[in-house]
Amino acid sequence: MDIVVIGIVVLVLLLVALAGFLVSRGRQTTRLADPPAARSTAAGSGTTTLERPPTRPDGDSIDIAPRPSTVAVPVEMPEPSASRMFRLRSRLARSQSSLGRGLLSVLSRERLTEDDWEEIEATLLGADVGVAATTEIVDRLRTQTRVIGAASADGLRELLTVELVNALDPDADRELRLASVDGHPAVVLVVGVNGSGKTTTCGKIARVLVGEGRSVLLGAADTFRAAAAEQLTTWGERVGVRTVRGPEGGDPASVAFDAVRQGAEAGVDVVVVDTAGRLHTKAGLMDELRKVKRVLEKRGPVAETLLVLDATTGQNGVVQARVFTEMVEISGVVLTKLDGTAKGGIVIAVQRELGLPVKLIGLGEGPDDLAPFDPVTFTDALLS
Ligand code: GDP
């Protein structure tokens, strides 16, 4: 009897153990079969956060209804360039003051020694005026100060103003040539190395022209940098100007040609063509730019070929400019980023050493930070 009872107890215990084993296996299977989302949600992963509607810092929900595929860009009416001069002047004065202040402080010393003249020379060279122009300016200043003797601060300022304005070639023709010939739009070809500010300058020029009441079309012939065409299109859209683009990596000359053809058909006043500037293959770039210009000239003359130079690259910019002048005939220079350098003397170097007129200056990344270059305003800002 006892044996029977013991046998039943052992059997019951075995059954209980077996049931426990099966239940634990069943739980494990369920967990492994959970869908991944449920698993990550349970684990508190980033998925949960992404699925929650975004909220503003004040706790309100943001409407995340799907956007229409084409968003209407409000068209802006840029201010005419003349009215920007005051703002640009003060910015120029801020970034260039060390040159003006440096020169004036040495010049106002009672008797100028050889060391003082060397200091003046070093200040001019340090501001990227270039050796030839520096020597010329210093020689003339020496003669003038000898003639006028001990001069007042105002007298010295005036003297320096005259010398700097003269060094900036005040009689150079700086007007953009934008006359259309036989109903053909004026073509402005914009060249320069990558990063110099070409695309930005094309956009800014389009704004200036629209502000002056001209109709404009943009050509995105920098087909090597995908972002360039996008960037140019955005600039254009802001002022209601259309951009002609080509396939990425396509032939820049055919995009340029197409832009001018479409511009002529639409009867616009000016077509501004952006180009690529990869200087690491100098020969390739030369051929490409020459081809762009040659192809454009099949339709009519190119009114302006503007070389964009980054003022912060200093004398290197002059070297770059020389390379470009060997490739195509440059009719004017746009000196960008003058807001970010105290080396405004590069304006003098570019003009004296290359004989190219600086026509426009870039003084910031803002849409209206482009101004016509004027030697008197520039010198005034330098010495203020
Ligand atoms: P690209 O490669 O020659 O077409 O050069 P981008 O037009 O793309 O310009 C390169 C960078 O220079 C951009 O970040 C521009 O915003 C900036 N840039 C262009 N012009 C100026 C300027 O006058 N002042 C400053 N501070 N930045 C500028």
Q: Tell me the pLDDT tens digit for each residue of 185-198.
A: 999 999 998 899 99
Q: Which of 29-38, 76-85, 371-380 has the highest mean pLDDT?
A: 371-380
pTM more than 0.85 = no
Ligand 1 atom nearest residue 192's Cα: 3
Q: Is the pLDDT of residue 346 over 70?
A: yes
pLDDT of amino acid 14? 58
Name the residue with tokens 């595929």. 69
Task: Measure CA 126 to chain center.
Answer: 25
Average pLDDT, the chain: 78
pLDDT band at 151 (very low <50, low <70, confident <90, very high): low
Q: Is the pLDDT of residue 297 over 70?
A: yes
Ligand 1 atom nearest residue 364's Cα: 24
Q: What is the mean pLDDT of residues 367-381?
A: 88
Give the distance (Å) from ligand 1 centre to CA of residue 195: 6
- Which residues form the pocket of ligand 1, taking CB atoms under 6 Å from any ligand atom? 192, 194-200, 228, 277, 336-337, 339-340, 362-365, 369
Q: Which of 26-30, 85-89, 111-115 has the highest mean pLDDT?
A: 111-115
pLDDT of amino acid 282? 65
Tell me, what DSSP letter sits at residue 128? T
Q: Is the pLDDT of residue 93 over 70?
A: no
The DSSP annotation for 52-96 comes to SPPB-TTSPBPP-PPPPSSPPPPPP-PPPGGGGHHHHHHHHHHHH
Give the distance (Å) from ligand 1 centre to CA of residue 82: 22
pLDDT of amino acid 65? 36
Angstrom distance (rounded) from CA 301 to CA 337: 30
Q: What is the mean pLDDT of residues 79-107?
A: 69
Q: Is the pLDDT of residue 33 over 60?
A: no
Cα angle at 55 between 53 and 56, to 5 degrees? 160
Phi and psi at 156, nearest 5°, equal: -65, -40
Give the distance (Å) from ligand 1 centre to CA of residue 69: 29
Ligand 1 atom nearest residue 363's Cα: 23
Angstrom distance (rounded) from CA 219 to CA 295: 14
pLDDT band at 139 (very low <50, low <70, confident <90, very high): very high
pLDDT band at 280 (very low <50, low <70, confident <90, very high): low
Residue-wise burial string across 296-332, b where 16 or more C-beta atoms lie within 10 A, e elsewhere? beebbebbbbbbbbbbbbbeebbebbeebeebbebbb
222-231, 283-292, 330-339, 349-358: least confident range: 283-292
Q: Is the pLDDT of residue 24 over 80?
A: no
**Could you give the angle at which helices 346-354 and 315-327 cross, rounded to 10 degrees?**
30
pLDDT of amino acid 41? 33
Q: Tell me the pLDDT tens digit for each residue of 204-239.
A: 999 999 999 999 999 999 888 879 999 999 999 998
